[in-house]
Amino acid sequence: MTPPSIIQGGMGAGVSSWPLAKAVSEQGQLGVVSGTALDSIMARRLQLGDVGGHIKYALSFFPNKQIAECVYEKYYVRAGKHNGKFKLIPKWTINPSKALFELAVVANFVEVFLAKEGHEGIVGINYLEKIQMPNLASIYGAMLAGVDYILMGAGIPWEIPDVIKKYVHHEEAFLSMDVIGLETGEKILMRFNPQDVVGEIAKSLKLPKFLPIVSSFVLAKKLTGRADGFVIEGPIAGGHNALPRGLLQLDKNGEPVYGEKDEVDLDKIAGLGLPFWLAGGFGSPAGLQKALSLGASGIQVGTPFALCQESGLGIDYKQAILQKITAEELVVLTDHRASPTGFPFKVVQLEQTLSEREAYEKRPRICDLGYLRSLQKKQGTIGYICPAEIKTSFLAKGGTTPETQGRKCLCNALMANIGLGQNQHVGGEERPLITLGSNVEVVRPIIEQYGLSYTASDVINFILDE
């Protein structure tokens, strides 16, 4: 099979939702759903009444009907919730309940199934290595739905290929957890046995291709033999970015400075003999041609798709951003403090979002989703810590005040980006924090050609110059 020229980026949480991935796949390119927080996303979609009945339809194809019905009934609200709080799902731990495993499997199955329904195109799913605890169950759910590609960034996904191969035959898989405070040589493993959770399934699953998202030749080389190709992501891409190599330096805007050490030697990448795609500012006809001339199979494109009709980003935010792009007023900054992960994070400067200092400072700290918590071992027990949680709680766990400064709750903010923000008892509606790539100029010619409300198909036709 010829590799796709365009990979639509897996933007989380829920921006790369199934309607976007489906639209891209129907055009013969690789549509990708985001796997980030799909358990919470599906639970909240159900609480809004399962508009269109899509979840219920997808669940009718889930191999274990009892689990499907149980998940649906637990979160479904017939008329849709109005002004009350969303019912929370349990936080992930290294020993989650069977019910949480089931929810993750079902949610990932549903998202991939809906993206693949009704066409012969290929569909991928994108996960973050940094969000480790849901990944075992999530990957299995995606494979149950026949996912074609698994992409993973924000870390070194060394063990994922072994997990994928185990799941082809529904075998138990393990992942080593990143835990602060472990002794040298000590390991904490998380396990997932499909038969314990979903029951026995006789038919083997398709083996999806695995594409790590990397930002260096060293990492790509390390994963050679375990990957089917790579996405090579530069520092102007949206979302989380790799840290600059060497001593962290900031420019006059407080953004990390990237230099020659951060440039990837693409000749060496090509020499690995695997297909690769370039990401970060390549979403144009010229960008595609440049990538091909450098030996790439194509490009990964995020920002233009994030702002198209089919993306999950709230329509009011899309329109405000598109109008600012048209007026040449949109600013995207690389905030090295925003993400609790410690990675730099691209932030769109937009009114009424957490990009505004006042909005950030007014928000009471709360950690009720917990996807970005780190694991730490203290006094023989495993605990969970996040620099964006309540400050006193963070300090009591051994954190320091400087670590909390500027940290934003991405979990709640990214849910707000897609219309699924929590209505907190204290603080009210959660505010969004929107991320795009730095090179928003790639969107302007699309707007000029197709208007302020363009489709995923328009993006593809523009890039392919058709």
Q: What is the rounded CA–CA span in Å between residue 324 and residue 303?
A: 14
pLDDT for 5: 96
pLDDT for 222: 86
Find out whether 165 and 209 touch, Cβ atoms under 8 Å.
Answer: no
**Domain boundaries defined on the chain:** 6-328+439-463
Tokens of 421: 């923000």
The number of beta carbons lying within 10 Å of the beta carbon of residue 343 is 17
Q: What is the rounded CA–CA span in Å between residue 207 and residue 166?
A: 10
- Convert 348-378 into a string of H (helix), E (strand) and C (coil): ECCCCCCCCHHHHHHCCCCCCCCCCCEEEEE
pLDDT, block means (10 residues), the chain with 466 residues: 91 95 98 98 97 97 97 94 90 96 98 98 96 97 98 87 97 95 91 94 94 90 89 90 87 89 91 94 94 96 97 96 96 94 94 94 94 93 95 94 95 97 91 94 96 97 90
pLDDT for 346: 95
pLDDT for 27: 97
pLDDT for 260: 86
pLDDT for 320: 96
Amino acid at 327: A
For 189-235, the DSSP string reads EEEE-HHHHT----SPPP--EEEEEESSHHHHHHHTTT-S-EEEE-T
CATH number of 6-328+439-463: 3.20.20
Tokens of 258: 């990237």
Residue identified by tokens 């409300």 is: 453
pTM: predicted TM-score of the whole model, two decimal places: 0.95
Find out whether 92 and 61 touch, Cβ atoms under 8 Å.
Answer: no
Q: What is the rounded CA–CA span in Å between residue 216 and residue 205?
A: 32
